[in-house]
Amino acid sequence: MRVLADGQFYRRTEECLQWLLQISAESPATVSGGCERCHLYWNGDFSLKQAFAVKSFLATQDLNSTELWLWLDDEGGYAGYEENPLLRPLLPYVQVRR
């Protein structure tokens, strides 16, 4: 994941959208030095909202150079995560950790 030098992109939606429209799809950002690991933590039940966040990552990142680790808490999310119908189709693409 790259952090943009101009902090305005994180605060002003219109400027961010204009910048994104200028990016060429033919020259994606590459990660030097191998695979980049991204982390997503969730406390509680894994529901539709969290599934959308994971799907957004999978749809927008180069899966050859990135990986997603999904951290779930013991009390609500980790127990029986393999049986969660929203998470089950995503399991081949994420590492689930306690």
Digit-coded pLDDT (tens) for 74-87: 877 788 899 999 99
Closest CA to 65 of 38, 34, 26: 34
pTM for this entry: 0.63
Q: Which residue has the higher pLDDT, 57 or 22?
A: 57
pLDDT of residue 17: 72
Domain that holds residue 53: 31-97
* Residue 5 is assigned to a structural domain of this protein: no
* Residue 93 is assigned to a structural domain of this protein: yes
* Residue 74 is assigned to a structural domain of this protein: yes
Number of domains into which the chain is organized: 1
* Residue 6 is assigned to a structural domain of this protein: no
* Residue 13 is assigned to a structural domain of this protein: no
Q: Which residue has the higher pLDDT, 10 or 49?
A: 49
pLDDT of residue 2: 54
Contact predicate 85/74, CB 8 Å: no
- pLDDT digit string (tens) for 19-56? 667 764 544 554 455 688 999 998 888 889 999 999 99
Provide the strand spans (E) within the chain.
36-42, 66-72, 94-97
pLDDT of residue 31: 46
